[in-house]
């Protein structure tokens, strides 16, 4: 192999000398990773809450588009373009099926990412329709900031409500009346799933409001919690579901057709005059101005198919695989000294180290070939303002992880924390 392309080997706290043989543990980690053969055997990626790795079938699907389809979809008459249109339509249907809804009442639109989808929706809500915007203290900045901006634009109150220790949303009927309620289905700091989300949606609808769900984490780690959800809109990201970088909005046809788009362009209109335009009747076009990310959409379809067929090396479903590995990792970290656990066992685990800054600990782990995230994870208000916590370190597991990855991480963390 060309030296420039030879995988870098890492020791416990740094790079392993060139030519040093890979350990048996490293070889074991390379096994049991169906679809991720490209991973170096001694790399441990634990940042799936940010974005998941892409299995080979997804990479192949994106490459296949560039090599064989290479065309624009939409309003074309040539074969490659028609094939793109047909495949994109299939992916829309797969996305609806993934969250357990149908095209009779819902439509699927593609955007840049979850944050972009949330902002597009909130900025286009019909003027004067809603009395207030409601969200919770634990939200990601994608929700927390976009609701601030939307309330300012609309000139209506924004109310931030609490959650209890089990992540239930504490809100009364009067606050929900005629409100836009924007909440996460699963938070990105400790992986807490909102247990009363279905009941919340029913209550909001009963008093004339709508619910927009930030499902960025739930789509990747708790997809079952979204199935058949009667939300008005569910926003998530393909790149947290083993797909390319892409945002997805599954929303009711009624909500989409009520929007007053603030971003408009090609692919959205049926007629244009000197000073006006008529929008197409297709609901998804309200959120899709201009040329779409055809390769990424097609790659997302491959990711959904791959997810449907996934079984770990031990034959587990993705949910069972992540729950088991997350449980092992949480238990192992909880046993270490000078490490405060933030939350219960989950595929997403955050800790607060003592005697060492969280960013510095993440850097040490990186030198050992273990990729984690540090900071407040875009939950600035909740982590920094309300909780007063310093930089946290977050470990998040995914389909590619193995028991050997957990063993290696706990080995390194044990050496680090006991050495402080």
Has residue 57 got a pLDDT over 70? yes
Q: How far apart are CA 182 and CA 255, in angstroms?
A: 14
Q: How far apart are CA 225 and CA 239, in angstroms?
A: 19
Strand order in the sheet with 348-353: 339-342, 348-353, 392-396, 373-375
| 69 touches 294 (CB < 8 A) | yes
Check whether residue 250 and residue 398 sit in a common domain: no
Among residues 129, 297, 286, which one has the least CA distance to residue 209?
129
Has residue 10 got a pLDDT over 70? no
Check whether residue 100 and residue 207 sit in a common domain: yes
Q: How far apart are CA 169 and CA 182, in angstroms?
A: 11
Give pLDDT, residue 19: 44
State the burial class of residue 328 (Cβ atoms within 10 Å of its Cβ: 0-12, 13-18, 19+). middle
Give pLDDT, residue 75: 80
Check whether residue 15 and residue 98 sit in a common domain: no
Has residue 396 got a pLDDT over 50? yes
- In the chain, the N- to C-terminal Cα span, in Å, equals 40
Check whether residue 286 and residue 201 sit in a common domain: yes
Q: How far apart are CA 370 and CA 372, in angstroms?
A: 6
Torsional class of 349: left (φ above 0), alpha (ψ -120 to 50), beta (otherwise): beta
All residues at 6 or more sequence positions from 271 whose CB lies less than 8 Å from its CB, including other chains: 277, 278
Residue 63 lies in a domain: no
Q: How far apart are CA 101 and CA 27, in angstroms?
A: 42
Has residue 1 got a pLDDT over 50? no
Taking residues 43-55, report their average pLDDT: 97
| 191 touches 221 (CB < 8 A) | yes
- Number of helices (H), then strands (E), belonging to the chain: the values are 14, 16
| Domain end position, chosen among 287, 309, 331 | 309
Check whether residue 222 and residue 255 sit in a common domain: yes
Per-residue confidence at 8, pLDDT binned at 50, 70, 90? very low
Has residue 88 got a pLDDT over 90? yes
Q: How far apart are CA 230 and CA 202, in angstroms?
A: 8
Angle at 363 (CA atoms; ends 358, 326), nearest 5 degrees: 70
| 371 touches 47 (CB < 8 A) | yes
| 401 touches 325 (CB < 8 A) | yes
Has residue 359 got a pLDDT over 70? yes
Taking residues 187-213, report their average pLDDT: 98
| 46 touches 29 (CB < 8 A) | no
Residue 58 lies in a domain: no
Q: What is the mean pLDDT of the chain?
A: 92
SS3 content of the chain, % helix, strand, coil (to 5): 40, 20, 40
Taking residues 349-371, report their average pLDDT: 97
Has residue 333 got a pLDDT over 50? yes
Check whether residue 407 and residue 296 sit in a common domain: no
**What is the crossing angle of helices 294-309 and 79-98, to 10°?**
50
Taking residues 244-249, report their average pLDDT: 98
For 153-193, the three-class secondary structure string (H helix, E strand, C coil) is: HHCCCEEEEEECCCCCEECCHHHHCCEEEEEECECCCCCCE
10-19, 60-69, 120-129: least confidently modelled range: 10-19
Give pLDDT, residue 20: 42
Domain count across the chain: 2
Check whether residue 378 and residue 274 sit in a common domain: no
Check whether residue 143 and residue 186 sit in a common domain: yes
Check whether residue 188 and residue 251 sit in a common domain: yes
**Structural domain of residue 290, as residue ranges?**
71-309
Has residue 49 got a pLDDT over 90? yes
For 376, the token pair is 């407040």
Give pLDDT, residue 9: 39
Residue 62 lies in a domain: no
For 399, the token pair is 């389909």
Check whether residue 130 and residue 48 sit in a common domain: no
With tokens 């606050």, the residue in question is: 175
Report percent pLDDT > 70 for the chain: 93
State the burial class of residue 380 (Cβ atoms within 10 Å of its Cβ: 0-12, 13-18, 19+). middle
| 303 touches 35 (CB < 8 A) | no
Residue 61 lies in a domain: no
All residues at 6 or more sequence positions from 63 whose CB lies less than 8 Å from its CB, including other chains: none
26-35, 169-178, 396-405: least confidently modelled range: 26-35
Give pLDDT, residue 28: 41
| 268 touches 133 (CB < 8 A) | no
Q: How far apart are CA 80 and CA 171, in angstroms?
A: 51
Check whether residue 228 and residue 270 sit in a common domain: yes
With tokens 């083993």, the residue in question is: 242
Taking residues 111-124, report their average pLDDT: 98
Give pLDDT, residue 314: 86
Give pLDDT, residue 11: 36
Give pLDDT, residue 31: 59
Give pLDDT, residue 237: 98
Taking residues 285-303, report their average pLDDT: 97
| CATH code of the domain containing 29 | 3.90.1150.10
173-182, 224-233, 306-315: least confidently modelled range: 306-315
């Amino acid at each position: 192999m060309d030296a420039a392309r030879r995988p870098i080997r890492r020791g416990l706290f740094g790079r392993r000398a060139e030519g040093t043989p890979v350990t048996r543990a490293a070889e074991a980690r390379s096994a049991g990773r169906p679809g991720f053969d490209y991973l170096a055997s001694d790399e441990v990626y634990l940042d799936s809450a940010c974005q998941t790795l892409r299995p080979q079938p997804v990479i192949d699907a994106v490459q296949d588009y560039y090599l064989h389809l290479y065309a624009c979809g939409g309003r074309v008459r040539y074969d490659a373009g028609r094939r793109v249109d047909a495949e994109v339509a299939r992916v829309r249907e797969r996305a609806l099926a993934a969250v357990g809804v149908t095209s009779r009442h819902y439509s699927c639109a593609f955007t840049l990412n979850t944050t972009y989808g949330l902002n597009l929706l909130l900025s286009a809500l019909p003027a004067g329709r809603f009395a207030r915007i409601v969200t919770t203290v634990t939200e990601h900045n994608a929700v927390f900031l976009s609701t601030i901006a939307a309330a300012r634009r609309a000139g209506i109150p924004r109310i931030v409500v609490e959650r209890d220790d089990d992540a239930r949303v504490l809100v009364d009927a009067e606050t929900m009346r005629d409100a836009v309620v924007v909440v996460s289905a699963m938070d990105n700091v400790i992986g807490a799933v909102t247990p009363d989300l279905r009941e919340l949606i029913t209550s909001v609808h009963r008093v004339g409001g709508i619910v927009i769900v930030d499902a960025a984490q739930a789509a990747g780690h708790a997809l079952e919690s979204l199935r058949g959800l009667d939300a008005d809109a569910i926003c998530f990201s393909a790149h947290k579901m083993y797909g390319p970088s892409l945002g997805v909005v599954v929303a009711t046809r009624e909500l989409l057709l009520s929007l007053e788009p603030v971003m408009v362009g090609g692919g959205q209109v049926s007629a244009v005059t000197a000073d006006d335009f008529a929008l197409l009747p297709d609901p998804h076009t309200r959120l899709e101005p201009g040329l779409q990310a055809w390769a990424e959409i097609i790659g997302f379809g491959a990711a959904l198919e791959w997810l449907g067929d996934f079984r770990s090396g031990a034959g587990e479903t993705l949910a069972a695989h992540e729950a088991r590995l997350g449980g092992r990792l949480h238990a192992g970290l909880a046993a270490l000294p000078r490490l405060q656990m933030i939350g219960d066992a989950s595929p997403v685990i955050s800790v607060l180290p003592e005697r060492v800054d969280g960013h510095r600990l993440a850097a040490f782990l990186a030198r050992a070939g273990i990729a984690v995230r540090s900071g407040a994870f875009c939950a600035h208000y909740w982590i920094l303002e309300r909780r007063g916590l310093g930089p946290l370190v977050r470990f998040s597991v995914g389909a590619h992880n193995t028991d050997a990855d957990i063993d290696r991480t706990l080995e390194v963390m044990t050496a680090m924390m006991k050495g402080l």
